[in-house]
Structure 1
Amino acid sequence: MRRFVYCKVVLTTSLVWVLVDVFLLLYFSECNKCDDRKDHSLLPALRAVMSRAHEGPGEMGKAVVIAKDEQEKMKELFKINQFNLMASDMIALNRSLPDVRLDGCKTKVYADDLPNTSIVIVFHNEAWSTLLRTVHSVINRSPRHLLQEILLVDDASERDFLGKKLENYARTLEVRVRVLRMEQRTGLIRARLRGAAATRGQVITFLDAHCECTVGWLEPLLARIKEDRRSVVCPIIDVISDETFEYMAGSDMTYGGFNWKLNFRWYPVPQREMDRRKGDRTLPLRTPTMAGGLFSIDRTYFEEIGTYDPGMDIWGGENLEMSFRIWQCGGSLEIITCSHVGHVFRKATPYSFPGGTGQVINKNNRRLAEVWMDGFKDFFYIISPGVARVDYGDVSSRKTLREALQCKPFSWYLENIYPDSQIPRRYYSLGEIRNVETNQCVDNMGRKENEKVGFFNCHGMGGNQVFSYTADKEIRTDDLCLDVSRPHGPVVMLKCHQMKGNQMFEYDAERLTLLHVNSNQCLDMPTEEDKMVPTLRDCTGSRSQQWFLRNMTLML
């Protein structure tokens, strides 16, 4: 009997020590050695242990599958926020997530004296589960001494649960969470300005209201700002599926750019940036533009550089405006590849815009084009001719800011920061390509990559008939170039690669011909078989092979 009792004691003791070992391992892995950072709280480790025990929906970022008999209800709920609200509500507010960082990031050690930060989150009619999951992920995965406060800025929400219930819930959290209320709907830009003005931290970190921060997300952002207060830093934005809430790691091999219509786009990181970092993918990645929803900035620097443009409405264009301003006025914009934050990407917005989405974004884009783009704004205006009729208000104060900060011209930005921009730095013409014989124009017909370029009656309104003949001898329409891979065509539109080859045309201003160098044939009017597509033929000097490259100007 004694031997049996003795064995039970030994087994129980061993089990306790195993559990202690597991707890300590989780503590140090989840807290990223937070004991070394004077964050002695065991709560993050305890939460980590508890989250590992969860096998519920969405844990470790897994997709949530809705039962067949719930599909109709799910579709109805989807319409409220334009994401799968049923799936979101099934997931714990503190769900576990995978560590998606590069291996080299996991071993980095950061200084003890990093600046602290205030988190600003603007919301309008946000779902309870996504908003609170954002808040909990910030609290659970941020060293406590670095987290000054969280500010939730309510942009005139109309849902009851975002009123007193939210304020009462915020008071139960172990981090100071303040709820600020806008008296009327003002949009993201002005609501962020309100939140920023109320912050007390050394750094302001802006997040959207449907995000999830991962382990180790905050320290690398703050460490870079500590190195250089003029660095504005963004995490890698991971994808949270709007349909299943599956967590999918974003790529560290893409960075921000934009097209002629001033739409933000992700493009592959160029080799020159890989060379600058000597192949070390854990180092900060210089990006020409940012997506705008998630970034950190020194609070004083944010004020020095002009915060947001308060003349912009609601949402749209503010990310490019700030990107241009940061680079042209002496700062830097970087993606910190060791920081990962997930974001629910929706296919449509659930919100209405006063005057319509297009009107608001066009106004904002006109403001940034007028202040920051100098003569290169013509690319935007000519490809989007309707924009010229949009009233963009008074930008004199922003131009004064540009002068006061002694900001560089947009040509400098294209030359030094974004040499692979879709807007060519040097070009021969910007406008229509008109055939002498038919008096018709080359037209992209709104077609996509790898489709044939079109041929249509000239309308003189820009848009689809705007092409730029560049100093690199490309015929470019936005980020697509005319490309011919074999004699006689077809002439298709492919992504511009700036390597000449199949995309190289030589224009003879005397003969008015466009010679495709690789095939040694000339661009010609369409054949009888396909009257809507220009072709290539052996050069004869005929009128059908002559083209006027006309620069277009719009009355603004």
Structure 2
Amino acid sequence: MGVLSRRRSLLIKLVVIVSTAWFTIAFLLYSEDRTDRGIALSLQNNPVNREARELQHDSNLLEPANPFKNDDDENPKANLQEPRKEDDGGVLLPPQNLPGELGKPVVLPTNLSAEVKKMVDDGWLKNAFNQYVSDMISVHRSLPDPRDEWCKKPNRYLTKLPATSVIICFHNEAWSILLRTVHSVLDRSPKHLIKEVVLVDDFSDMSHLKQQLEDYWKSEPRVKIVRAKKREGLIRARLLGAREASGPVLTYLDSHCECTDGWLEPLLDRIARDPTTVVCPVIDVIDDTTLEYHWRDSSGVNVGGFDWNLQFNWHAVPDKEKKKHENSAEPVWSPTMAGGLFSIDKKFFEKLGTYDSGFDIWGGENLELSFKTWMCGGTLEIVPCSHVGHIFRKRSPYKWRSGVNVLRRNSVRLAEVWLDEYAKYYYQRIGNDKGDFGDITARRKLRDDLNCKSFKWYLDNIYPELFVPGDAVANGEFRNLGHGGKTCLDSPARKSDLHKPAGLYPCHRQGGNQYWMYSKTGEIRRDEACLDYSGQEVILYPCHGSKGNQYWEYDEESKLLRHGSSDKCLGINASKTKLIMEQCNNNSNNQRWTLENYDSSKLNK
């Protein structure tokens, strides 16, 4: 009995010692970041997050392969998304069974209560993305590593890289989205390469972006919060951030991004090798509903372009550029940049005149910086080894004053300063209505002082793939002469409009959706969208340059547009609502068209 008693006593002591050690470790972990977690706890106990915890117990919330269950709802501390450290002691990460980890989607059940559904709807209304789902995901969530193996090879990058100031501008951004953006920068960047993170508050009025934000970051000396004294808009907010930044390199990010592992070094490496190189990461898509992280490998990388509406677009890496590289993960030249995410040497940025302060709010600044980078001695690259995710909103949740066409004003300033004789092609798209675009004297002087190249040089050497309207046989409105002769070919030609029927509308002489070009090779096109007929309806289809279904032969005398492969002619129906294809008839006015500015001397013979 004495032996059993001593063993029982020893066992009890062992349990006490282990329990004491466990509680000590837990207390130290809990105390490590008590300020941040104090704020997190206050958020945890608000109605939205209580509802989120309840939903997290619903097996329908996540895909069956990744269920989330919290076994201790009684203890609020147990529900905190407590970071964990990787084996190497580096980046803080949450447990991988939490919602959204590794970039996986969070799918809400269909049987939401009315109260929760209202919270979800309110989040969409305020932010134009699913704030409710974002609030369920850790601000330290893990992400997949989208880099090619080429990017990870030892000594791939210079050992001595410049530090950067990361500038993030925001206006009424959702709490969890903004924090996740900043934490992704801090968690996935070598500490010595982050000079500071400058958060520029563009006059937000949401309470969580006031003192609460200050309190959250007060223990992180690298985070600096700068407040605009009035609503400035993205362009002037970025200029404010640049003035406050002290790093030799500026890195701009939007406030709804997530950086992946190894995102920063490839960007800084290019600038370290040549300070006149402006670099952009590959922009991956974060789903606005589920926050799933979508990415593609380097073989699917696109580069930036633009159309003659002066709208940015993406297109595949040209063959001539691919041939310059042995590996698809190598940096590639890009004619333009999207503008939201990039790094630039601060001195070079200042030499280029930063942004045009005459630009209002946002729009056009990305093309202006792209054009002057190339034309004034720099290089613009997409770096496939750097990946940053971005939530692409389908609408803007912010309100601005009405009565001014901001994008047009900015685009006209851009055209007047940088496009030379090619500006007329943009003006044709807007009915030659330039409006009030302000004083551009200083910007023209900047271009002269920098001894920049011509826009023709840019098109010939950097973007020869762009179809130039001046090469077109006809450009402007395509008017049908039937039923009074007041009906024009009219269709939007955005990417989302492709594969849809082309339309008609009363002629208005304002360009826009009624601006078309007839190319030397018989295409009826606007930018990269061509009229295409394969036996059903006349649709818009990506131009392929191979004639076939996109070949139209115009007879200047009869004014018929004959389709090459079908030998039918383009006409309109009696109600003037639809394009039709008919057997050609010289006496049918509804098959007769006038093509504005038609010049047969430009035809390929």
Same fold flag (TM > 0.5): yes
Q: 1:5 aligns to what?
A: none
Q: What's 2:421 paired with? A: 375
Match of 2:104 in 1: 62
- Tell me, in whole angstroms, the C-alpha distance in 1 between the residues paired with 2:584 and 2:211: 76
CA distance in structure 2 between the partners assigned to 1:430 and 1:478 by the alignment: 11
TM-score (norm 2): 0.76
Paired position in structure 2 for 1:417: 462
Other-structure match for 1:286? 333
Question: Sequence identity of aligned pairs in percent?
Answer: 46
SS at match of 2:183: helix
Q: Which moved more, 1:128-137 or 1:208-217?
A: 128-137
Partner Cα distance (1:518, 1:260) in 2: 29
Q: 1:451 to 1:81 in 2, by over 3 A?
A: closer
The counterpart of 1:125, out of the listed 167, 172, 191, is: 172
Question: Within 5 A, what are the aligned runs for 1:504-543?
Answer: 504-509=551-556, 512=559, 514-519=561-566, 521=567, 523-526=569-572, 532-535=578-581, 537-538=583-584
- Work out whether residues 287 and 334 of structure 1, in 8 Å CA contact, stay in contact via their aligned partners in 2: yes
TM-superposed CA distance for 1:498, in Å, is 2.3
Matched residue SS, 2:372: helix
Cα distance in 1 between the residues matched to 2:452 and 2:479: 39
- 1:465 is matched with 514
Deviations 1:101-122 (A, max 9, x none): 1232232532111111111111
Match of 2:595 among 542, 545, 549: 549
- Write out aligned runs for 1:392-431 (5 A): 392-421=437-466, 423-424=468-469, 426-431=471-476
Give the aligned partner of residue 152 of structure 1. 199
Secondary structure of residue in 2 paired with 1:139: helix
Q: What is the deviation of 1:153? A: 1.0
Contact 1:258 1:289 in 2 (8 A): yes
1:383 alignment partner AA: R
Give the superposition deviation at 1:233. Answer: 0.6
1:353–1:360 CA contact under 8 A, matched in 2: no
Any gaps of 5 or more consecutive residues in structure 1?
A: 2-41
Paired residue type of 2:437? Y
Q: Structure 1 residues 43 and 227 mapped into 2: Cα distance closer, same or farther (>3 Å)?
A: farther
Is 2:143 the partner of 1:101? no
What is the correspondence of 1:384-399 to structure 2 with a 5 Å cutoff? 384-385=430-431, 388=433, 390-399=435-444
User: How far does the alpha carbon of each residue in 1:290-312 deviate from its partner, in whole angstroms, 9 at most, with x for none?
Assistant: 11110000111101111111001
The count of aligned residue pairs is 506
Note the C-alpha offset of 1:505: 3.2
Letter in 2 for 1:258: F
- Does 2:383 match 1:336? yes
CA 1:75–1:435 in 2, change beyond 3 Å: closer, same or farther? Answer: closer
Q: Does 1:83 align with 2:129?
A: yes
SS in 2 for 1:153: strand
Deviation at 1:337, TM superposition (A): 0.4
CA distance in 2, matches of 1:330, 1:88: 42
Aligned residue type for 2:528 = D
Q: Write the deviation string for residues 431-471 of structure 1: whole angstroms up to 9, x where unpaired.
A: 12234566345413447323343455433332332211223
Aligned counterpart for 2:228 among listed residues 161, 182, 192: 182
- For residue 103 of structure 1, what is the amino acid of its counterpart? E
1:138 equivalent in alignment to 2:185 = yes
Correspondence for 2:397 among 346, 350, 370: 350
Distance 1:45 1:401, change over 3 A: farther
Give the residue type in structure 2 aligned to 1:60. L
- Once residues 187 and 53 of structure 1 are traced to their aligned partners in structure 2, the CA distance between those partners, rounded to angstroms, is 38
SS at match of 1:473: coil
Give the 3-state SS of the residue equivalent to 1:221 in structure 2. Answer: helix
2:478 is the alignment partner of 1:433: yes
Distance 2:209 2:175 in 1: 7
Aligned partner of 1:475 among 519, 524, 530:
524
Moved more, 411-420 or 48-57: 48-57
After superposition, the CA RMSD in angstroms is 3.0
In 2, are the aligned partners of 1:429 and 1:549 still within 8 Å (CA)?
A: yes
- Seen in structure 2, the aligned counterparts of structure 1 residues 176 and 508 have a Cα distance that, compared at 3 Å, is same
For the pair shown, the structure with the greater C-alpha radius of gyration is 2
Q: What one-letter code is carried by the residue in structure 2 that aligns with 1:427?
A: A
1:245 and 2:291 correspond: yes
